[in-house]
Amino acid sequence: MSKQELEVIGQDAACCPGLSAAPLDEDQAADLAKVFKALGDPVRLRLMSMIASRGESGEVCVCELTPAFDLSQPTISHHLKLLRQAGLIDCERRGTWVYYWVLPGVLDQLAAFLSTAQPARAGA
């Protein structure tokens, strides 16, 4: 596997129990590392944010994403491909344009993994 290829990970809730629930095994850590690697680039993080923040439609055309960056269209497409390969987004071609959306539950799963239960504090 090349440095730039990311493997699609499963979308099931059993993927990762949560950071403080139990230590990750090797496979879980490898799967999550792919997701965090995809999100570790500022351009990809912005793209993810732009796609995730869509209102009612939940999807965005690549023609709306590209002008927000001082990058070429092929570079934007490459970043979107890496987000797809990480299992964060999906797309569909409609005529000339490609539309992107966040896969259902992905952000909730990441949030659940990163959240920790806050213990009740005495006197609070």
What pLDDT does 80 receive?
A: 97
- Interval 30-58 mean pLDDT: 90
* Mean pLDDT for the chain overall: 82
Give the Cβ contact number of residue 25 at 10 Å: 9
Average pLDDT over residues 58-76: 94
Strand partners for 92: 99
Distance CA 25, CA 90 (A): 27
**Does residue 5 have a pLDDT over 50?**
no
pTM: 0.74
1 burial class (0-12, 13-18, 19+ CB within 10 angstroms)?
Answer: exposed
Q: Are 116 and 20 in contact (CB under 8 A)?
A: yes
Evaluate if residue 71 carries a pLDDT over 90: yes
Segment 78-97, tens digit of pLDDT:
999 999 999 999 999 999 99
Q: Residue 20: pLDDT above 50?
A: yes
